[in-house]
Amino acid sequence: MTAAQSQLTQDFPEKNMLLQKLRQENPAFALQAEEYESLSQRIASGEGVDSATLAALKQEQANLKNDIARQLKHASGSCCGGCGG
């Protein structure tokens, strides 16, 4: 695992093992997680980013985080609120 992956671990510390499992077993989840980490790094650095772009990046990151949270909830056996099941 790379240092970049620590942002998801910080955001979901109680789901660390599940994060690792989903990254290994679900390629789509792994891609989303990497995109989230990349956005986190870009937002943290803030280099060459105007305020409108930064706001858009933060919104995209929030959307990804919500989607990742739903997937973690679903994978842990909790209702994610999106499937109706």
Domain ranges of the chain: 3-75
What is the rounded CA–CA span in Å between residue 85 and residue 75? 13
Yes or no: say if 72 and 15 are a contact pair by the CB < 8 Å rule.
Answer: yes
- What are the distances in angstroms from CA 26 to CA 7, 22, 32? 19, 5, 10
Question: Higher model confidence: residue 42 or residue 85?
Answer: 42
Selection from 34, 18, 24 nearest residue 71 by Cα: 18
Yes or no: say if 12 and 20 are a contact pair by the CB < 8 Å rule.
Answer: no
Q: Which of 5-9, 55-59, 76-80 has the lowest mean pLDDT?
A: 76-80
DSSP SS3 for 68: helix
pLDDT digits (tens, 9 = 90+) for 16-41: 999 999 999 999 999 999 999 999 99
